[in-house]
Amino acid sequence: MTSIISARGLTKRYGRTLAVDHIDLEIPPGRIVGLIGPNGAGKTTVLKAILGLATFDGELSVMGKNPARARAALMEDVCFIADVAVLPRWIRVWQLIEVTERIHKGFSRETCMEYLAQTKVTMDHKVKQLSKGMVAQLHLALVMAIDARLLVLDEPTLGLDILYRKQFYSSLLNDYFDEERTILITTHQVEEVEHILTDLIFIQDGKIALDTSMEEVERRYTELMVRPENAGRARELKPLYERELFGRHIFLYDNVDRKQLTELGEIHTPSVADLFVATMKGGKS
Amino acid sequence: MNRLFALVRREYWENKGAFRTTPLVIGGIYIAFLLMSIFTTAHFDNEMYTFREAVRLLAGQTPEFRAAHGNELILGSSVFFSLVLAFVVFFYLLGALYDDRKDRSILFWKSLPASDTLTIGSKLFSAMVLAPLIFWAVFILTQIVMAAIASLMVISVGENPWTLFLSVVNPLSAWGILLVSYLATSIWFLPLYAWLLLVSSFAPRIPLLFAVLPPVVFAILQIWIAFLKTFTFNDSLFGLIGEWVANSPAIISVGADGSKGVLSLGIPLTSDFDHSVSLANILDRLFSTQMLAGLVVSAVFLALALWLRHRATDN
C-alpha cells in the first residue's frame, strides 16, 4: 500500500528552537488521523510542511510529491481548511465559487450548491457579512465539493458553537469520507473527534509521542478504577498515569493483562483525552 | 490560461473601486465641469454671443489647424487620467502581496492549485494591462460624451459640428497613441512595480513606509557622502528616479515649444532624446539601454518577491 504522507526525519527549526524534531510518519490512504498535541508542540508546523506552506529539513513526500517544491501541483489533490477565518472578507459567495471552479479541476459546482442549499448562505453575500458559523459552512461546502485525496483540517471548528461542530463532523464522516480519501485533523477538542478517528498521533515538543490506530488503543490501553485500599496493588503494575476522582483512584495501563486488572476494580478503554494526558505527563517524567 | 484569467478576474473583483469606479468618477468630473462651464457662459451671456463668435472663428481656421488642436485637446485631457492611474497602480501593487497576508486569506489562496508565479503574474498583469485598459476605455467614453455635448452646443448656435470638428479631428490616432503610451509606460516603470511587489511581499506592516523609507535613506546618505567628498550635490538615487520619470514614455506634461505649449513624453528637462509625442519616440524609449538596465533590476526584484511569496504564510 502506498502512503499518502510519508516523512523521514522531518525537522523544522525556527532560529535556535527546534519546532519539529526528526519526525517519522507514514499515513496510508483511507484513514482519519487525529494529530493531537499541546500548544506549541509543532502540530501546525507539521501541517504547514505537508501543505507546502513552510520549508523543512528531512524527507517528506505527499502523494509522491515534495510539498515545498510542488505546492500548486499538490493542491490538485489536497484540500485544507486552516481554521475557519481565512476566506477573503471582501469576496462574494458567487465569486468565490467561480474562482475556485476555474482554478480547481476537481471542483463540482453542483455538490457545492447542494451543501450550500442546506445553509442560509446566499450567492450575493459577501464573506464579511456572514457569521463565523456561516463562513465555516461555506468553506466546508467548497472543500467538500472538491474531489481531493487528502483533506487537512487545522482546528476546523475553532470558535464554532456545539450544534454546528456536531453537524460538521457528521457531514464530514457521512458525506465526504471514503476508502480512497484520507483526512488529517488537528484539534484541541479531542472528545469531539475521537469517535471518527481511525488513527491517533500524539506530538509533544516536536516529537511523536504516540502513533497508533484506534483498534490498537483499545487492545493496548486499559483504564482501571479502584478503591483507595487497592491503590497500592494497582501501582505495583506500573501504570502510565494515576489520577483521583471522587475518592477513587484511576490508573492507566499500557499492555497489562486485563484479567489481572479486573480483580482490582472496574476497567474501561480510556478516552483519547485521558490517554493524551497520560502520554504527555509520562513523556515529561 | 484559464487560471490566469480567473486570478486576474479576482484582482478586478477585489479592486473594483480603484480600477473601475475611480476612472468613472474622473470622467464624471470632466463632464460636470463641461456642463458647469456651459451654464456659466449661458448665465452671463444668454444670447451665447461669445460662444457663437468663437465657433465662427474656429470654422474660419484651416482643417489642418483644427485637426492638430483637436488632437492636442484629446491627449491633453488624458493627463489627469494618467496621473490618477499612476496613483491607483502604486497603491494597488503596494497591497497586492500584503493584504492577504494581513487578513490571513493567503491560506485560502494557497489552498488552490495556482502557483506563486501565476499569482504574481496575475497581479503584474492587472497593474500593467488591466488597470490602464479600463482607464483608457473610460477616458474614451468620457470624450464621446463630451463630444456629443459639444456638438449639441454647436448645433444650438446654428453651426454644423460635423464639418467643424467631428469629420476633421481623427480621435482614433490620439486614442491609439495614448494606449501605446500607457502600455509602454507600464513596461518603463516595471522596475518600480517590481520594487512595490517586493515590498508588499515582505513588509510586516505599513508597506508604504517600507517602500519609501529605504530609497529615501539611501539617497540622503548618497547625497551626504557626495557632499563630504566634493562639497557639491551630485547625482543620487533621487536624481535617478527623477530622471526615470522625466524620461518615461507617458504623456504627462506640456513643454514650451516657441510660443505655444505642446504635449510631450515625460518631462522635457534635457534634450537627451526627442520628447514629442509619437509612436517612434515611445518605442525608442523601450529599446534604450536605460530600459534594459531597468529590466535587469526588475527581474531581480521580481525573483526576490517570488521567493518571499513562496515562503509566505499567515505569520
What are the pLDDT digits (tens) for B52-71?
888 888 888 888 888 888 88
In the A/B pair of chains, how many CB contacts fall below 8 A? 81
Average pLDDT of span A216-230? 86
What percent of chain B stands above pLDDT 70?
96
Is residue A222 domain-shared with residue A194, that is, in the same domain? no
User: Which of B14, B112, B120 should we substitute to test contact with A (largest number of A Cβ atoms within 10 Å)?
Assistant: B112
Mean pLDDT score across all residues of chain B = 88
Positive or negative: CA dihedral A192, A197, A202, A206: negative
- Looking up residue A149, the CATH number of its domain turns out to be 3.40.50.300
Q: Is residue A123 part of a domain?
A: yes
Q: Do A80 and B9 touch (CB under 8 A)?
A: no
Report for A80-89, A113-122, B180-189: range of highest mean pLDDT: B180-189
The residue of chain A with its CA nearest to that of B118 is A72
pTM for this entry: 0.88
Q: Which three cell numbers stand for residue A41?
A: 508542540
Phi, psi values for residue A230, rounded to 5°: -95, -5
Mean pLDDT score across all residues of chain A = 87
Average pLDDT of span B34-38? 91
What percent of chain B stands above pLDDT 90?
50
The residue of chain B with its CA nearest to that of A143 is B111
pLDDT computed for residue A285 by the predictor: 42
Nearest one of A93, A106, A198, A91 to A143, comparing CA atoms:
A106
pLDDT computed for residue B124 by the predictor: 97
Is residue A175 domain-shared with residue A232, that is, in the same domain? no
Q: Which residues of B touch A103 (CB under 8 A)?
A: 3, 6-7, 112-114
Domain limits for position B216: 2-311
Q: How many residues does chain B have?
A: 315
pLDDT computed for residue B122 by the predictor: 97
Q: Do A95 and B13 touch (CB under 8 A)?
A: yes
Range with lowest mean pLDDT among A215-229, B1-15, B76-90: A215-229
Is residue A125 domain-shared with residue A244, that is, in the same domain? no
Nearest by CB to A86, from B107, B113, B118: name it.
Answer: B107
Nearest one of B277, B285, B223 to B252, comparing CA atoms:
B277
Range with lowest mean pLDDT among A105-109, B154-158, B173-177: B154-158
The 8-class DSSP code of residue B251 comes to E
Is residue A111 domain-shared with residue A245, that is, in the same domain? no
The reply to whether A88 touches chain B by the CB within 8 Å rule is yes
Neighbours of B215 (CB within 10 A): 15
Nearest one of B20, B87, B303 to B95, comparing CA atoms:
B87
Total count of domains within chain A: 2
Q: Which three cell numbers stand for residue A91?
A: 469576496
pLDDT computed for residue A101 by the predictor: 94
Evaluate whether B309 touches B201 at the Cβ level (below 8 Å): yes
pLDDT computed for residue A253 by the predictor: 87
Q: Do B112 and A103 touch (CB under 8 A)?
A: yes
Q: Do B112 and A104 touch (CB under 8 A)?
A: yes
The 8-class DSSP code of residue B265 comes to E
Evaluate whether A203 touches A37 at the Cβ level (below 8 Å): yes
Q: Is residue A119 part of a domain?
A: yes
Total count of domains within chain B: 1
Q: Which three cell numbers stand for residue B161?
A: 459640428
Distance CA A252, CA A250 (A): 7
Of residues A81 and B230, more confidence is placed in A81
CA dist list (Å): A249 to A191, A266, B62: 22, 11, 109
pLDDT confidence of B20, banded at 50, 70, 90? very high
Binding-face residues of A in 168-187 toward B, CB within 8 A: none
Is residue A174 domain-shared with residue A137, that is, in the same domain? yes
pLDDT computed for residue A9 by the predictor: 92
Average pLDDT of span B87-111? 93
pLDDT (tens digit per residue) in A13-31: 888 888 888 999 999 999 9
Average pLDDT of span B274-290? 86
Range with lowest mean pLDDT among A49-53, B155-159, B273-277: B273-277
The reply to whether A150 touches chain B by the CB within 8 Å rule is no
Strands A57-62, A182-186: pairing kind: unpaired
Q: Do B113 and A73 touch (CB under 8 A)?
A: yes
ipTM of the complex: 0.87
Q: Which residues of B touch A136 (CB under 8 A)?
A: none
pLDDT confidence of B14, banded at 50, 70, 90? very high
Evaluate whether B24 touches B138 at the Cβ level (below 8 Å): yes
In one-letter notation, the amino acid at residue B2 is: N
Q: Which residues of B touch A92 (CB under 8 A)?
A: 13
The reply to whether A55 touches chain B by the CB within 8 Å rule is yes
Give the residue from A139, A171, A205 where a domain finishes: A205
Distance CA B98, CA B205 (A): 8
Q: Is residue A106 part of a domain?
A: yes
Domain limits for position A245: 216-284
Distance CA A162, CA A144 (A): 20
Neighbours of B74 (CB within 10 A): 23
Give the residue from A205, A224, A241 where a domain finishes: A205
Is residue A195 domain-shared with residue A115, that is, in the same domain? yes
How far is residue A271 CA from its own chain's centroid?
A: 16
The residue of chain A with its CA nearest to that of B17 is A90
Neighbours of A39 (CB within 10 A): 7
Nearest by CB to A80, from B3, B104, B111: name it.
Answer: B111
pLDDT confidence of B30, banded at 50, 70, 90? very high
pLDDT computed for residue B205 by the predictor: 87
Q: How many residues does chain A have?
A: 285
pLDDT computed for residue A283 by the predictor: 52
Nearest one of B193, B180, B185, B163 to B245, comparing CA atoms:
B185
Is residue A228 domain-shared with residue A187, that is, in the same domain? no
The residue of chain B with its CA nearest to that of A151 is B111
Q: Which residues of B touch A80 (CB under 8 A)?
A: 107, 111
